[in-house]
Structure 1
């Protein structure tokens, strides 16, 4: 079987920012440090990690809101950072965003119809005609589970979950290939979260859209993602198929995250897995540890971890997998060598 063609390929991505000097005199914050990832068409990639690990910076680079210092981004075989003029505008239609706060991301003075149709004001060459516009808005409202009669209501007249549905409808207006979802359900009640997640899954099945799904909630990521990338201080330290990463984590940090996530047994009772408590705080990205960046909080760390950055190790998956399950650790928790 031939390997699937990826929609998105990121290689060696680095991004730093100049900030005020810290006590050690350092003023360069490295938000992304050699990030690699691959995303297939119609897939969902879950991007997880603590606050400050670089998830949002990676999202901004994928959306071309930030330019990387090094590395390449290829979308459907094209480097979007080389595009200009009409070619760049056409590319921007293919990548859209669903924001974390469903109220702050919507203009309170615009109706639902105006909000959903806002992208057409910029991309006029693909906008429906004035006669078709109203019908297209009604279609998008119904696609995301709202009523056509909601078109003339304002954001304050909707619940949080309904506002997020409007945001999703706006993202779909240009028929994108990729949607970056930045914590899209974290501001919603649990019952509403499930509704929005099910909506995203249904839209993916119907439209074939691809998602990069950023979240700190591992139970949500396990529900929606096909593959998971775990970030720590600007690096992806583990990635692979979702079930394998959750059931057989390679990196101690991943295992600690999984142990903190609530689980349910088959009978519906709360899981009783042992909680892994990490020592210390997340180091400053202005002064990351040498060697393995997780070593200052890791119970397995040795002198080697302080002097030598770990190479990726892992296990091979199915022949048609875009990437194997890999983790960057000198002492992986469970390992079958790649190719075994």
Structure 2
């Protein structure tokens, strides 16, 4: 099959869970695209659905509705060997480098473990050993680290082992779930630079999930903002950061710490509490905290407005925008 430039396409993705007698809608009509070699940043408050989206794209959850197309393939239609072969193509780097590594296994065993399932990738023991040591070199640890245990490494070094494990199956996409949030600032920069270097070398695509807006701005080509299961704004990173169109995005940007006092501007303070996802507000889900809300915000869901690829779901966008045609 011919490789497409657009690697991942998600349309109308929905996922809900039963909570007691109620249904919690974690994803409500998610659309996103990820190109080959691109980094898409995903930001939003806790509980907005970021982790559920990651789990669904990893095929750990099956969506209730919508479609996922990966390089022209619907992964949820695959079975048997074809499904096993596909699973190599999407891997994950986890948030906690302490909890995500087995303390009873050496670094070399951790990196080699995926090949026990995907036996055809490196069937020869010598090839596996060479590849494992090559991956340790690639992430900056060196082959001598192969015989050490996770507790002998620092947090940043452990995360490098996690990255090497994700690379072991030669994936096309790596989902990075808060990969630097547990690390010191200086170590964060080292890991982010490593991810960037690997992307340049291997042409990997990243879905980069983070609460840290400064980190997302540093690594992402495009950014998407989530709120209560909806993607409410997306666009090129600099466009979204320079001129946020959705009031919620503007509030997030104003809350981000800035070193330069001249860049800080006025802080936007939101009133009220985050609504429960079990009972989200009618119309626009952000309206109960929005200073621009009007009657239409309570009665109608906002349509997506597109301003040259900068998309926002808002009745009263902060920037000029053109409605998306049906």
TM-score normalised by structure 1 residue count: 0.92
SS at match of 1:125: coil
Q: Does 1:15 align with 2:15?
A: yes
- Deviation (angstroms), 1:91: 0.3
Q: 1:225 aligns with which of 197, 220, 227?
A: 220
Deviations 1:136-180 (A, max 9, x none): 111100100102101000000000000000000000011100000
Q: 2:311 aligns with which of 312, 317, 326?
A: 326
Paired residue for 2:95?
100
Distance 1:172 1:264 in 2: 35
Distance 1:113 1:93 in 2: 19
Q: Does 1:310 align with 2:302?
A: yes
Paired residue for 1:203?
198
Q: Using a 3 Å threshold, how does the CA distance of structure 1 residues 301 and 336 change in structure 2: closer, same or farther?
A: closer
8 Å contact kept, 2:305–2:321: no
Distance 2:198 2:137 in 1: 12
Q: 1:259 aligns with which of 244, 254, 263?
A: 254
Q: Using a 3 Å threshold, how does the CA distance of structure 1 residues 244 and 177 change in structure 2: closer, same or farther?
A: same
RMSD: 1.3
Unaligned segments of structure 2, at least 5 residues: none
Distance 1:332 1:16 in 2: 28
Mapping of residues 136-151 of structure 1, within 5 Å: 136-151=131-146
8 Å contact kept, 1:19–1:28: yes
- Deviation (angstroms), 1:338: 6.8
- Deviation (angstroms), 1:5: 2.8
Paired residue for 1:335?
320
Q: 1:133 aligns with which of 115, 128, 134?
A: 128
Q: Does 1:280 align with 2:281?
A: no
SS at match of 1:299: coil
8 Å contact kept, 1:181–1:211: yes
8 Å contact kept, 1:177–1:209: yes
8 Å contact kept, 2:305–2:314: yes
Distance 1:272 1:211 in 2: 29
Deviations 1:289-310 (A, max 9, x none): 0000000000000111000110
Deviations 1:246-283 (A, max 9, x none): 00111000000001112244xxx673311111111110
Distance 1:178 1:155 in 2: 25
Distance 1:5 1:309 in 2: 32
Distance 1:133 1:117 in 2: 7
Distance 2:69 2:120 in 1: 25
Paired residue for 2:207?
212
8 Å contact kept, 1:263–1:271: yes
Paired residue for 1:165?
160
Paired residue for 2:281?
289
Distance 1:69 1:168 in 2: 31
Distance 1:152 1:270 in 2: 50
SS at match of 2:201: helix
Deviations 1:83-129 (A, max 9, x none): 00000000000000000001111110000000000110000010251
